[in-house]
Amino acid sequence: MTAGARPRTSPEIETLLLAKTDFQAFLDQLWQGGYRVIGPTIAQQAIVYDEVRRVEDFPRGWTDEQSGGQYRLKRRDDEAWFGFVVGPHSPKRYFFPPQVAVAQADRTATGWQFSEVPDQEPPYALLGVRACELAAIAVQDRTFINEQYVDPIYRRRRERALIVAVNCTQAASTCFCTSMNTGPRCTKGFDLALTELPDSFAVEVGSDRGADVLSTLTTTAASEVELQQAEVARQQAVDQITKRLDTKDIRDLLLGNLEHPRWDEVATRCLSCTNCTMVCPTCFCSSVKEVSDLTGDHVQREREWDTCFNWDFSYMNGGVVRNQIRSRYRQWLTHKLASWIDQFDVSGCVGCGRCITWCPVAIDLTEEVAAIRETPA
């Protein structure tokens, strides 16, 4: 279920080319159209999402080298604009912000008045969204826009967002989207999808909104040669994927091995540092805290990202249920790969590999699952 991107009804997805020399005009048009344009940029030696106004803001000519507990930027020998995979940020920080006011209370002469806090954010245009991230957005849609209780902030931002995806042309050693059937090819959930060529982008339209945006830009038809080039570029990403997660019966495997000795073993390495949950594009845990002004007459309820790795996340009645790292790691992994399926009819993992890259001790969930699979109960 993807709110916002109304899929095209026509079976023929025509591919057009957008010249790189025309990309600045594209950015300008988006900003003029009222979007806040977000895309990959370099900050603090990583590729992170931030506002993009000029094409010079993109990490052109840079790539990332990732492995367990390792992330480095390196110069490429070409000037590719999107020649990298995913960094510590994901689109979740825009629809499900790390910190946001969800309600407020004002003390008036007639008592407390409760109201929403109007969300002031302009609509986002997210540029450079990868296939795994599209899948993660679809996963989070199930959490935040389900039938019973809808998060109004998520829904509003999601519905108004323009999603311009980019097809990966390479893979990191930590990527395993193919195991999760989430990539590397962008197939749905986007308004536009770009594949980088030397001087242009092959553009696929994924929705009416995308078509409308594209119609305002200068484009040319893609030739057979160019279509071939795009296909070759995308195939490179597939070929470079080495990591695998065996997902066969994974729900029963994990929920049927809750006392497996592997949990004790991983607990000797896991620091409960919470990095994995911070970078994971589907993690959704949060806490609300009360923030008063000095008079105490105006209170905001601020929701912040929380994480099941926090020691007192499961506190109740004078004690903490998951008092040990063993319990907390087990909770995270079984939720992500198993319980999520019961809860949302889909896996919580999209195979982006961020948790492996950003774990300071290089815990690899594909290895943890394999270890349990090797000696199940």
Partner 1 sequence: MSVQASSAIAENPWLAQSVEIAAVTPELPGVATYHLRFRDAGLNARYRFRPGQFNMLYLPGVGESAISLSAANENSGTWDHTIRVAGNVTRTLAGLGVGGELALRGPYGTCWPLDECAGADVILVAGGIGLAPLRPAIHTCFAERKRFGRTTLLYGARSPDMLLYRRDYDAWTDRGLNLSATVDRSQPGWSGDVGVVPLLVDRLRPLTPANSVMFLCGPEVMMRYNVRSALERGLRRDQIWVSLERNMQCAVGLCGHCQLGPAFVCKDGPIFRYDKIERFLNVEGL
Partner 2 sequence: MDVESVVYVLSKLRFSEPLPGSMLVRIAALAEMRGFPAHSILFRENADNDRLMIVAVGRVALDMQVPGRGEVRIMSVGPGDMLAWSALIGEGRMTTSAVALEDTQVVAIRARDALLLCESDPEFGYHLMRQVAQALANRLVATRLQLLDLFAESEPFIRQGPD
The binder of partner 1 chosen from 24, 216, 228, 323 (CB under 8 A)? 323
CA distance 134 to 281: 10
Contact 356, 367 (CB under 8 A): no
Per DSSP, what are the bridge partners of residue 289? 302
Min. distance of Cβ 317 from partner 2 in angstroms? 5
| Interacting partner of 325 out of partner 1, partner 2, none (Cβ under 5 to 8 A depending on kind) | partner 2
Which SS3 state, helix, strand or coil, does residue 292 take?
strand
The binder of partner 2 chosen from 113, 181, 215, 323 (CB under 8 A)? 323
The binder of partner 1 chosen from 29, 143, 236, 272 (CB under 8 A)? 143
**DSSP string of 76-130, one letter each residue:** -SS--SS-S---S--THHHHS-SEEEEEEEEEETTEEEEE-----PPPEEEEEE-
Give 181 or 323: the residue with its C-beta nearer to partner 2: 323
Min. distance of Cβ 289 from partner 1 in angstroms? 8
Q: Which of residues 300-319 bind partner 2 (CB under 8 A)?
A: 311-312, 315, 317-318
CA distance 8 to 210: 9
DSSP E strands, 154-276: 162-166, 192-196, 200-205, 220-221
Min. distance of Cβ 229 from partner 1 in angstroms? 44
Q: Which of residues 251-310 bind partner 1 (CB under 8 A)?
A: 255, 258-259, 284-290, 292, 296, 299, 301, 303, 306, 308
Residue 114 in contact with partner 2, rule: CB under 8 A: no
The binder of partner 1 chosen from 27, 131, 338, 369 (CB under 8 A)? 338
**DSSP string of 234-254, one letter each residue:** HHHHHHH-------TTHHHHH
Q: Which of residues 268-287 bind partner 2 (CB under 8 A)?
A: 272
∠270-275-276 over CA atoms, to 5°?
A: 80
| Interacting partner of 112 out of partner 1, partner 2, none (Cβ under 5 to 8 A depending on kind) | partner 1
Contact 3, 158 (CB under 8 A): yes
The binder of partner 2 chosen from 47, 125, 325, 372 (CB under 8 A)? 325
Min. distance of Cβ 357 from partner 2 in angstroms? 24
Q: Per this entry, what is the length of the chain?
A: 377
Min. distance of Cβ 124 from partner 1 in angstroms? 21
Other beta carbons less than 10 A from residue 209's beta carbon: 18
Contact 129, 167 (CB under 8 A): no
| List of residues contacting partner 1 (CB under 8 A) | 102-103, 105, 107, 111-116, 143-144, 146, 148-152, 255, 258-259, 284-290, 292, 296, 299, 301, 303, 306, 308, 313-318, 321-324, 326-327, 330-331, 334-335, 338-339, 342-343
Binding site for partner 2 (CB under 8 A): 272, 311-312, 315, 317-318, 323-325
